[in-house]
């Protein structure tokens, strides 16, 4: 179990978390849901080491990949190069090509990312997080901007390529969480 104990987080005078405790299941898909502004994204950022906080996090895997709410692609690089940044071995190449094919963007492999639609960029971002090996994958609204067909392809891809990894995903749609077979954590209160 990944455990967050006595988490405290404030932005100025606004208290986002106060003595907050939650545990996530390792090796499973964990979905965090809740109303806007309650700290779902902040919780992911804390776990990724991108936000200061008080409290403790136990058993957090070290090797992580992420899909951020805002796109973080290198716009001038090709789709393929964005996904393969930092990796040069053949298994990665085969997994990239398989992912591009599965998500129907194989024909865009050598296009610069700046020429892609928002939905295509989202799929590339998810591939970049899932193709390389990691212990944990963080995803913040990975289906944002996708039509139903491409969202379902992405859900299938995630399920087929999850392996033994832990996944922490922020979503707003309960049906998407159910399609992933996820454990659902609601932080509305």
| Extended beta strands in 88-178, E state | 136-140, 166-170
What is the per-residue pLDDT for 76?
93
Walking along the chain (189 residues) 10 residues at a time, the average pLDDT comes out as 92 88 92 88 92 91 88 91 77 85 92 91 92 90 93 95 93 94 86
Tell me how far apart the alpha carbons of residues 124 and 129 are, in angstroms, rounded to a whole number: 9
What is the per-residue pLDDT for 62?
84
Phi, psi of 186 (to 5 degrees): -100, 125
Give the global pTM.
0.89
What is the per-residue pLDDT for 12?
87
What is the per-residue pLDDT for 85?
83
Tell me how far apart the alpha carbons of residues 21 and 124 are, in angstroms, rounded to a whole number: 33
Q: How many domains does the chain have?
A: 1
What is the per-residue pLDDT for 102?
92
Tell me how far apart the alpha carbons of residues 98 and 102 are, in angstroms, rounded to a whole number: 6
CATH number at residue 29: 3.40.50.300
What is the per-residue pLDDT for 185?
92
What is the per-residue pLDDT for 38?
83
What is the per-residue pLDDT for 36?
84
Contacts 24+ apart (CB under 8 A), 40-44: 40/140, 40/170, 40/187, 41/69, 41/140, 41/170, 42/9, 42/16, 42/17, 43/4, 43/7, 43/17, 43/187, 44/138, 44/140, 44/168, 44/170
User: Can you give the residue range of the structural domain that contains 11?
Assistant: 2-186
């Amino acid at each position: 179990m990944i455990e967050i104990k006595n988490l405290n987080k404030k932005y100025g005078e606004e208290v986002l978390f106060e003595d907050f405790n939650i545990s996530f299941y390792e090796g499973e898909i964990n979905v965090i849901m809740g109303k806007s502004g309650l700290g779902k994204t902040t919780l992911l950022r804390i776990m990724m080491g991108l936000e200061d906080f008080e409290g403790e996090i136990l058993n957090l895997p070290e090797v992580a990949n992420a899909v951020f709410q805002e796109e973080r692609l290198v716009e001038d690089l090709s789709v393929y190069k964005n996904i393969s940044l930092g990796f040069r071995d053949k298994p990665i190449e085969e997994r990239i090509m398989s992912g591009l094919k599965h998500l129907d963007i194989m024909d865009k492999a050598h296009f610069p990312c700046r020429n892609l639609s928002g939905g295509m960029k989202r799929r590339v971002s998810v591939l970049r997080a899932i193709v390389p090996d990691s212990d944990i994958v963080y995803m913040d609204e990975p289906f944002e901007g996708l039509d139903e067909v491409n969202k379902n392809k992405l859900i299938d891809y995630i399920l087929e390529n999850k392996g033994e990894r832990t996944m922490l995903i922020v979503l707003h749609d309960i049906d998407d969480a159910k399609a992933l077979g996820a454990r659902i954590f609601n932080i509305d209160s």
